[in-house]
Chains A and B, each alone.
Chain A
Amino acid sequence: MKPYSITFRHLQKHFNKRTLFTIPELTIESGKCVLLSGINGSGKSTLLKTIAGLEKPCHADIIHNGKSIDWRSAYKQIHKEIIYLHQNPLMFDASVADNITYGMRKQGFSTETICSKLDNALQWAELEALKNNNARHLSGGEKQRVALARAYVLSPKILLLDEAFSNMDIEGRKRTFDLICKLKDEGIGIILTSHEATQIISLTKHHIRLENGQLLEINHKGNVVSNVAKSGNLSLVQETA
């Protein structure tokens, strides 16, 4: 997989005059797994949706694979390369198989590709037995696996997982965890959000925290290393020394 990077500079979002966050610089690259923490309402979901091109930022300069592009052309690219997974994944009112093939069908993949990728994904997420079930009637953990498989078949560069582990028992968490590990091993860049910071620390080397509208970098011991807003730069690729 070719290295992929996207940088947001001066990323700003506010709702009705209330500023949710101001981020001087944020770079996201393939192959890294980052934990994004923050209390309820700190704006984690909004930040991820903005990165995924689902929320329009109030301001952003975007550098896509080294080239500076405007928001209009950026988000067309982003929709093909970055996939956002909801806090509670939404299943289309259709079978598990149809849910998994949705993106491929809309993007005009060939029938053979769709079939082989579907079989592969069903096996990958251990969903073979549920293939023809209506996805709306699945359990929370099963829905999460369908959502991961649905993204996996599209080979995204970056996956944004919003609270991927909420509402799940230990078994469900473990299976989701394993799938995310596999995605990481394939070189897909991942950002996970969680308000329980410790839970998935083994998966992620990097930890950033959204606090009072600012993005902070946290080291292994849980201390703030740098205030991104002050240092003016955060690159998620560089190992924190």
Chain B
Amino acid sequence: MESISGASVHALQLLFSGNAELWNIIALSFSVSLKAILIAAPVAIVLAFLMAYQRFPGRRLLIYLFNTLLSVPAVVIGLTLYLLFSRSGPMGDLKLLFTQDAMIIGQIILCMPLILIMSHATFQASDRRIWETARTLGASRIQAMLTVMYDIRFGLMAALIAGFGRIVAEVGCSMMIGGNILHHTRNIPTAIALETSKGEFSQGIALGIVLLIMAMTLNVSLSLLQGKGEMI
């Protein structure tokens, strides 16, 4: 087992020398999480819009449901998907277990409620006159919806960033249904968990630095967006 300072120096060397294995893990992490966001976001945002702007039966129920989903631990979602996807499970024939697709599905389920709840709050707070003005000027429902979305684009962006932050560093679900296979389903959080358990800290620290930098970038952009781009 190496010393912490030695491991940190080694970690920086790994990062800046362009260590292929390390960057492969980073790329995989981002690719899986971005795909999950790209699929989850349109569905979540349109649903959030409908829940805020249309009266339909079961609206309240949906809000409760998504709030509950938001507080379900990632491992529980991982476990559920594991049981569904495992060979003897009801969806075993799809052969999804230990694939990137399974990780993407898990991350979609993880980020969807957060994006939905946050965009719903943004839609609720939006000015109804935007919708009314668009409609009275002859815009169709979909055009008017896009106009409202454009007006609250910073809030929606913030929801996306928060959703991305929730899944990119999440270890429980990825570990269970991804399986942590190198070059295939090993992403940043599962790699950190593995390297640490082996007592090899340098790669873990290097990946930790990447996550920290990313968390910082996400948080700064979040606060910038919530202040609509004003620094002070």
Interface set of A (CB-CB < 8 Å, partner B): 49, 52-54, 79-80, 82-84, 86, 88-90, 92-93, 102-103, 106-107, 150-151, 154
Question: Known contacts A90-B130, A92-B151, A93-B150; is A52 also within 8 Å of B136 by CB?
Answer: yes
Chain B residues near A154 (CB-CB < 8 A) = 137-138
Q: Which residue of B lies closest to A147 (CB)?
A: B133
Chain A residues near B147 (CB-CB < 8 A) = 92
What number of B residues sit within 8 Å (CB to CB) of A?
Answer: 16
Query: Contact: B151 with A93, CB < 8 Å?
Result: yes
Query: Contact: B132 with A106, CB < 8 Å?
Result: no
Query: Contact: A86 with B129, CB < 8 Å?
Result: yes
Question: Known contacts A90-B127, A92-B147, A93-B150; is A106 also within 8 Å of B133 by CB?
Answer: no
**Interface: B143 (CB within 8 A):** yes
Which of B137, B140, B151 contacts A102 (CB under 8 A)?
A: B137
Chain B, residues 29-68, CB within 8 Å of chain A (1/0): the string is 0000000000000000000000000000000000000000
Chain A residues near B143 (CB-CB < 8 A) = 106
Question: Known contacts A92-B151, A93-B151, A106-B143; is A54 also within 8 Å of B130 by CB?
Answer: no
Chain B residues near A49 (CB-CB < 8 A) = 132
**Interface: B135 (CB within 8 A):** yes
Question: Known contacts A93-B150, A106-B143; is A79 also within 8 Å of B138 by CB?
Answer: yes
Chain A residues near B135 (CB-CB < 8 A) = 53-54, 79
Interface set of B (CB-CB < 8 Å, partner A): 127, 129-130, 132-140, 143, 147, 150-151
Chain B residues near A88 (CB-CB < 8 A) = 129
Query: Contact: A90 with B129, CB < 8 Å?
Result: yes
Interface centre among B134, B135, B137 (most CB of A within 10 A): B137
Q: Shortest Cβ distance from A78 into chain B, in angstroms?
A: 9
Interface centre among B138, B150, B151 (most CB of A within 10 A): B138
Give CA–CA (A173, B10) in the complex, Å.
73
Secondary structure at chain B's binding surface: helix, strand, loop or mixed? helix
Chain B residues near A53 (CB-CB < 8 A) = 135-136
Give CA–CA (A92, B130) in the complex, Å.
7
Q: Shortest Cβ distance from B182 into chain A, in angstroms?
A: 48
Query: Contact: B127 with A151, CB < 8 Å?
Result: no
Q: Which residue of B lies closest to A109 (CB)?
A: B138
Question: Known contacts A102-B137, A103-B139; is A54 also within 8 Å of B151 by CB?
Answer: no
Give CA–CA (A79, B130) in the complex, Å.
15
Chain A residues near B137 (CB-CB < 8 A) = 83, 102-103, 106, 150-151, 154
Q: 8 interchain pairs (CB within 8 A)? A: A52-B136, A83-B137, A86-B132, A90-B130, A90-B133, A102-B134, A150-B137, A154-B138
Q: Shortest Cβ distance from A65 into chain B, in angstroms?
A: 18
Chain A residues near B138 (CB-CB < 8 A) = 79-80, 103, 106-107, 154
Give CA–CA (A92, B146) in the complex, Å.
12
Which of A79, A92, A93, A107 contacts B136 (CB under 8 A)?
A: A79
Give CA–CA (A52, B129) in the complex, Å.
13
Q: Shortest Cβ distance from B125 into chain A, in angstroms?
A: 15
Chain B residues near A93 (CB-CB < 8 A) = 150-151
Interface centre among B133, B134, B143, B147 (most CB of A within 10 A): B133
Q: 20 more A-B contacts (CB under 8 A) besides A86-B132, A86-B133, A103-B138?
A: A52-B136, A53-B135, A53-B136, A54-B132, A54-B136, A79-B138, A82-B136, A83-B136, A84-B132, A84-B136, A89-B133, A90-B127, A90-B132, A92-B147, A102-B134, A103-B137, A106-B143, A107-B138, A107-B139, A150-B137
